[in-house]
Structure 1
């Protein structure tokens, strides 16, 4: 896929991308070192969310179990509506009233899961998600300042496996994945999308951002409103576009900044055009 070569012009030291078809999880294209391990930053959150959803299906806990500040639940933490601050275990709003993007909330989520499961969260995530999907180079660092929110490391090859799972689930019931990725949790809430400003509304599912009509945005101008995924401060992203029938993962070794806000949408639009043309 010619569009993938655009990463050669990104102002980064190392970058890798992979594109996965939705129907059968086939790898449509890849560029860059597929086995190179990158810091994921907030692309860790979809992995954490998936582990939490496995825990729900296994009966470890339930979405509406109390977790976090008074009145908050597992569902609130997944949807960034617990009221917790960005990087502090401090409540700034009543649960369900604002979309406050929160690293702290995801660490509370992981701690809640670990207590319910009786094993460390990073081990649960490995056994529930990484190992079954063959993600041999993926891990969550428990020594990271916010492990479940931003402490993941992975490769393009491993995240391509996760992207395939999101499109054709094997570890979760498809209805669970649909709820997490296509249904807005706590609709109508406004909030700040980090790096892209205030969004009205700032729609999220359970652990996954839903694109809808947000502008500006880190995906492309031609990305469908149904697109979901996440990007990370370390220069990483993962999106799934159900209309295009494909997913893309991109990893880089330079922190997110103006370069990414300019390069990522152009890259995505070029890739989507190539997919539509069937090349």
Structure 2
């Protein structure tokens, strides 16, 4: 795997205090670089972890994807709408900005509302539910959620590599049908703004995971397939899984997203896919 090792050396030159990365296949980590156990603030990479916990709650029948999101504030919107940023909630406030399934509005409040529904149904704080439903089963010992399930997670490359492996070679965290739904476009054709990259038509999203589709510009590489799914965070964090290539990449840094990431992430993604 020397080609992958060479590709990952690029993180050494990123203009950040700390950076780490790993290439992950169905069998586990194929190559890595940087401090794998270093704890990084995840920002919005917290969202897919929260979504996994919500989906476990769905499979446990504590909640259902068709459950109302908030009938008073969001008539007609469901838990599925919340996970896919299609509920119509405004980005940062509990305000209705659009009818459900008419626009993709990237909403921290929507993910927080989804977590509230699970916490209420399970009778425990969402942080505890995430720990019991996802972190412990995957042995993610370096991950915590000290605040919002939309943006306040802390984790390591080593822990997120376990998530990427589970999504590619499931051991039972979620059923195959749920995993397929997770990476399938929900409410196809919706337009919206991808933070940091402007308006996208369509702005495809799965259940808590962004889907590459035809988006341009984008934070993944030119070589990534349309089936690529994952997430990035404003704290300088990202991961993706390319179903067609059969591989995933996680890269964490502690420098806020900006022009450095717009250049570095696609270059790293393309280098990893070339090395394969």
Normalised by the size of structure 2, how large is the TM-score?
0.96
Q: Is 1:79–1:206's contact at 8 Å kept on the other side of the alignment?
A: yes
1:61-210 alignment to 2 at 5 Å?
61-68=63-70, 69-142=74-147, 147-169=148-170, 170-181=172-183, 183-210=184-211
**Equivalent-residue separation in structure 1 for 2:68 and 2:267 (angstroms):** 42
**Matched ranges for 1:204-243 at <5 A:** 204-243=205-244
1:261, distance to aligned residue in structure 2 (A): 0.5
SS in 2 for 1:67: strand
Structure 2 unaligned spans of 5+: none
CA distance in 2, matches of 1:115, 1:256: 34
For residues 166 and 239 of structure 2, what CA distance do their matches in structure 1 show?
13
**Correspondence for 1:6:** 10
Q: What value does the CA root-mean-square deviation take over the aligned residues?
A: 0.7
The number of equivalent residue pairs is 268
Show the counterpart of 1:52.
54
Hey, what's the Cα distance between the residues in 2 that align with 1:162 and 1:206? 15
Deviation at 1:67, TM superposition (A): 1.2
What's the offset of the Cα at 1:244? 1.2
Give 1:6 shift: 0.1
1:99 is displaced (CA, Å) by 0.3
CA distance in 1, matches of 2:244, 2:185: 17
User: Distance between the aligned counterparts of 2:88 and 2:193, measured in 1?
Assistant: 13
Check conservation: 1:168, 1:174, Cα contact below 8 A. Answer: no
Aligned-partner Cα distance in 2 for 1:165–1:79: 21
**Matching of residue 19 in structure 1 with residue 20 in structure 2:** no
CA distance in 2, matches of 1:27, 1:168: 12
Q: What is the CA distance between 1:168 and its match in structure 2? A: 1.6
